[in-house]
Copies of this chain bind each other. A is one copy, B any other.
Amino acid sequence: MAKNRHEELGLSNEEVLEMYKTMLLARKLDERMWLLNRAGKIPFVISCQGQEAAQVGAAFALNRSEDYIAPYYRDMGVVLAFGMTAKELMLSAFAKAEDPNSGGRQMPSHFGQKKNRILTGSSPVTTQVPHAVGVALAAKMEKKDFVSFVTLGEGSSNQGDFHEGLNFAGVHKLPVITMVENNKYAISVPIEKQLGNPKVSDRALGYGMPGFTVDGNDPLEVYKVVKEARDRAVSGEGPTLIEAVSYRLTAHSSDDDDRAYRNKEEVEEARKLDSIFTFAVYLKDLGILTDEIENEFTNEITSIVNEATDYAEAAPYAEPEEALKYVYEE
């Protein structure tokens, strides 16, 4: 039997089940989006698959009713944990007017929802890093107790904005947690061609903050390190850089064919560590995830995904002239 590792982290059985369920919901929504894409119903998908454990583990370690997040495009697990619904995500996938992220203006996975403190994101990578630092600066100026949390891919950690943002946070000891989701590829470019030092967390030293590399397939390990980072942040000890290592299980996006640059075996090997599978094994081993609960989850999630899809598919697009709105305050 597996050793119970969540108890010592202060996580109840209900909480870890909730984590698992969130991971599973993210995965199932993502899978459905691929089906919809292949069926010609939605033009584009970019996946969370393989990164759900890191996303959900991190989100659960935050204060989900106070902290601000600046997620990147793969973070379906993060935004679900922060209150965005399956329906809302599907509305975005279908580019419908009711999509709270952008009213159908942006591609799917360009998250943003003020009521859940999800900063609006764009396509150029890494611009969100200074934004999260700015929110953390506001927290410090206003003497508030929240933190900001920002994610990006390991390739994106080579952008100037990563450097400028993290150094700024380091100088002013701001309450911001940066998590690099290292999935070993930036589209076709593998880490060894992307990073002078493949261990992203080693960059923390240069900014005067602690850096940690953790197993991104283990939601509990990620939970722990983010939790500790949050504790440090709210007690004025400043920022943390975390690298969660996993693997991108799908092609980069629905527009990519990964056979040109990586082989099947490598992907198959990574699948064995897929957290949706390994975390379930852990929970089952401990008798927490019973067959009954598993069935219940599956059924519930299936109907959530179905309903979300049906609703979003039937929802109207924005009128053409809606495009003219909100360039400036109106």
Q: Which of A58-66, A167-175, A259-267, A296-304 contacts B (4 or more CB under 8 A)?
A: A167-175
Interface string of A194-236 (1 = CB under 8 A from B): 1111101011011111000000000000000000000000000
- Which of A169, A192, A205 has most chain B Cβ within 10 Å? A205
Set of chain B residues within 8 Å of A209, measured between Cβ atoms: 196
Interface string of A145-184 (1 = CB under 8 A from B): 0000000000000111111101111110000000000000
Set of chain B residues within 8 Å of A194, measured between Cβ atoms: 171
B158 touches A164 (CB 8 A): yes
Of B163, B169, B196, which contacts A162 at CB under 8 A?
Answer: B163
Chain B nearest Cβ from A103, distance in angstroms: 32
Of B168, B170, B197, which contacts A206 at CB under 8 A?
Answer: B197
Of B158, B164, B208, which contacts A167 at CB under 8 A?
Answer: B158
Of B159, B196, B197, B206, which contacts A196 at CB under 8 A?
Answer: B206
Interface membership of A193, Cβ < 8 A: yes
Chain B nearest Cβ from A178, distance in angstroms: 12
A206 touches B208 (CB 8 A): no
Set of chain B residues within 8 Å of A195, measured between Cβ atoms: 167, 170-171, 208
Set of chain B residues within 8 Å of A159, measured between Cβ atoms: 160, 163-164
Residue count of chain A within 8 Å CB distance of chain B: 28
Interface string of A233-247 (1 = CB under 8 A from B): 000000000000000
Set of chain B residues within 8 Å of A202, measured between Cβ atoms: 205-206
With A197-B208, A207-B196: A158-B169 Cβ-Cβ less than 8 Å: no
Chain B nearest Cβ from A224, distance in angstroms: 24
A161 to B159, CA, bound (A): 9
A200 to B167, CA, bound (A): 11
Residue ID in chain B nearest A209 by CB atoms: B196
Chain B nearest Cβ from A38, distance in angstroms: 35
A163 touches B170 (CB 8 A): no
A159 to B167, CA, bound (A): 10
Residue ID in chain B nearest A171 by CB atoms: B196
Of B167, B168, B197, B208, which contacts A205 at CB under 8 A?
Answer: B197
Set of chain B residues within 8 Å of A168, measured between Cβ atoms: 196
Set of chain B residues within 8 Å of A193, measured between Cβ atoms: 171
Chain B nearest Cβ from A192, distance in angstroms: 8
Set of chain B residues within 8 Å of A206, measured between Cβ atoms: 196-197, 200, 202-203, 205-206
Q: Return 15 A-B CB contacts under 8 Å, by A number.
A: A158-B163, A159-B160, A159-B163, A159-B164, A160-B161, A170-B195, A170-B196, A170-B197, A171-B195, A196-B208, A197-B207, A197-B208, A202-B206, A203-B206, A205-B206
The 9 A-B pairs at the shortest CB distance, nearest first, are namely: A160-B160, A170-B196, A163-B163, A203-B206, A196-B208, A197-B208, A196-B207, A167-B196, A202-B205
